[in-house]
Structure 1
Amino acid sequence: MHDINDLELRGIPAMFVASDQFVDAAAKQSASLGFPAVARVFTPHPIQDRTDDEMLTYADVAFDQILDTLTL
């Protein structure tokens, strides 16, 4: 989050991607760092035991969300 905040302060669009297991943790960390509106995209959890095809599907869905997040 520190890196994302630093990039945003420099005028470079930034965001992070994590699995949805980390929604609450991300909200708490970004708020504690004074950057509560950090851009984020969450994928389904867990990811470590997904097949390649499942990961491609996750990536396809996340890609559009990431583009939308960075270009709004």
Structure 2
Amino acid sequence: MHDIRDLEDRGLIGVGIASSEFIPAAAAQNAALGYDPAVVFVPHPIQDRTDAEMRELAERAFEAILGAASASA
């Protein structure tokens, strides 16, 4: 969240992408920072996925990421 805020403070668009495991942590950090960045969550887990599975996750999340970036502009 700090990185996204830094990007936005510089006038750049930022969208966080994380696995669904981090939804509670993201909410807690956002509350602590008083900041509500655009974040897209993808299914967890990530680390054991093949390259093909990662491409599929990225393709499924692409529209949400693009939409979040467009809304932030």
Please say if 1:25 is aligned against 2:18: no
Q: Name 1:53's counterpart in structure 2.
A: 52
Find the aligned partners of 1:47 and 1:3 in 2 and give their Cα distance.
21
TM-score, with length taken from structure 1: 0.87
What is the identity, as a one-letter code, of the residue corresponding to 2:30?
A: S
Q: Please state how far the C-alpha of 1:8 moved relative to its aligned partner.
A: 1.8
Give deviations 1:11-70, integer Å, cap 9, x for gaps.
3221210000000100100110110x2110011100111122211110101121111100
TM-score, with length taken from structure 2: 0.86
Between 1:10-19 and 1:21-30, the stretch displaced more is 10-19
Name structure 2 gaps, 5 residues minimum: none
CA RMSD of aligned residues (A): 1.2
**How many residues are matched?**
71
**How much identity, in percent, do the aligned residues show?**
54
